[in-house]
Chain A
Amino acid sequence: MEIKEIKIIGGVDKCGNPENVKELIVKKGEIFGVVGPTGSGKSNLISDIEQLSQGDTVSGRKIMINNEIPSSDMRRDPRKRRIAQLSQNMNFLADMTVEEFLIMHAKSRGINSEGLVDKVIDLANNLTGEPIKKDYNLTILSGGQSRSLMVADVAVISDSPIVLIDEIENAGIKKHEALELLAGYGKIVMVITHDPVLALMTNRRVVMKNGAMTEIIETSDEEKEVSKRLNDLDGWMLSMREKVRHGEKLSIGDIQNTCKTC
């Protein structure tokens, strides 16, 4: 089944009042943002979509796929699930090696794991400075390594038409590359982010407050311009970070000479 759109039918906020946004449709090929302060219900929105809720979660939202109620098979069985989620929960509890885990995950998704392990690990190692090896135990991976591995896993093993991303910026990985890798071609991507660069990379974003979707903002031309400049700033910030990481000292000259936007 080709997924052309998802529709989120609004439920209630934390106090039980109806959400301001009654209906939100995200179409194939769109990258959509979710913004709002901590505790405003961003992760719950993403998790409603991941579980294809039918009014059975705290929010009471309903999720429709191609304007239809998804089958219970699609809701339950990972082999039929068309959604990949990258949550903030990145602490691995599984006592197994990276290789065993990836093979097992491929099996749970019903795909042949031949050659996949190396592919996932290579991609992951492009996103983080600390290389992952396949015989590493999952539980020893750092935050950045775990997240890179999960990004690569979503891109290769749980490659799905709907991708949900929760605060990708937090683990010190290359977020642009990660987003590009995840978005692929023709997917529906929803990104929770506090990062203005990522937020403005989307065409539209929903604002969350007190557990509810309150407003949808379209990214204006002016914002696109702001996005470009922020991107430069971000690149500059990243270069400073790399210097510090590699044990170099920073000087006033680094700011004056490098940052064109400042």
Chain B
Amino acid sequence: MKVVIVAGTPGAGKTSVMTHTIKQLQKKGKKTSVIKIDCLYTDDDVRYGKLGVPTLIGLSKDMCPDHFAIYNIEEMVEWAKEQNTDTLIIETAGLCHRCAPYTKNSLGVCVIDATSGPNTPRKVGPFLTSADVVAITKGDIISQAEREVFRERVLEMNPNCTIYDVNGLSGQGCAEIAEEITEAKDITDLENELLRHNAPLSVCTLCVGETRIAKKYHRGVLRRIDGFTKYVGE
């Protein structure tokens, strides 16, 4: 089973890019299934459903969607096998920009929007820096020079990735991404599969539902704005 994990900034065009990519995979005779992980709401299952591929959605509710995806990866792969598919695409909402949902043997695809400006690659963290493939969308609405500057910034953050200019509307560039997926490794030993990058630093009292803001109520790894970090608790 090939597992493709797709992450990226909201609105960058992850679903559009993947829809076109799946069409290309279908042309190659690949049997694909899709799981969309979002927080509160998504109708992307309808969009994926139109392609006739098995589709599942997972809403993480008040949990980080990337954490949710990781906890559920065994079930997801199991489900994809039951659907008789050879390629599982997991699209995650990935909101905090600190998580890196990619695992060692999955294909990590980052979708990022060129109109978000060349400082964005510096701000989005592991889902860009640890990706195998970076799909840059919306390049057709900025100048060539700015597109090239954006690309350079992506390479500064992740020198080893392969970059594709992709058009989510026309599907241009998606054939290359489908090719990358076809050439990706299989995940054979899920039990020993590792994340490429650790999840964000520790757990604090806010994570488990504390709503009071005063300092004295907080436990866990606490970092101050001046950079001082300490652990409070047992």
Contacts and interface: CB of A to CB of B under 8 A. Distances in A.
Q: Do A and B come from one complex?
A: yes
Contacts of A154: 145
A104 B155 CA distance: 12
B164 A94 contact: no
Contacts of A58: 170
Contacts of B145: 101, 105, 150, 153-154, 157-158
B220 interface: no
30 contacts: A47-B140, A51-B165, A53-B172, A57-B170, A76-B165, A78-B151, A78-B152, A85-B144, A86-B144, A89-B140, A89-B141, A89-B143, A90-B143, A91-B142, A92-B143, A92-B146, A93-B146, A94-B119, A94-B149, A94-B150, A95-B119, A96-B118, A96-B119, A101-B146, A101-B149, A104-B149, A104-B152, A108-B152, A109-B148, A153-B145
Interface string B150-189: 1111000000000111000010110100000000000000
B164 A76 contact: yes
A154 B143 CA distance: 11
B151 A104 contact: no
Interface of A: 47, 50-51, 53, 56-58, 76, 78, 84-87, 89-96, 101, 104-105, 107-109, 150, 153-154, 157-158
B143 A87 contact: yes
B11 interface: no
B85 interface: no
A243 B49 CA distance: 62
B140 A104 contact: no
B146 A94 contact: yes
B140 A105 contact: no
A107 B155 CA distance: 11
B117 interface: yes
B167 to A, nearest CB: 8
B211 to A, nearest CB: 35
Given A107-B152, A157-B145, A93 B170 contact: no
B115 interface: yes
A104 B23 CA distance: 36
B115 A108 contact: no
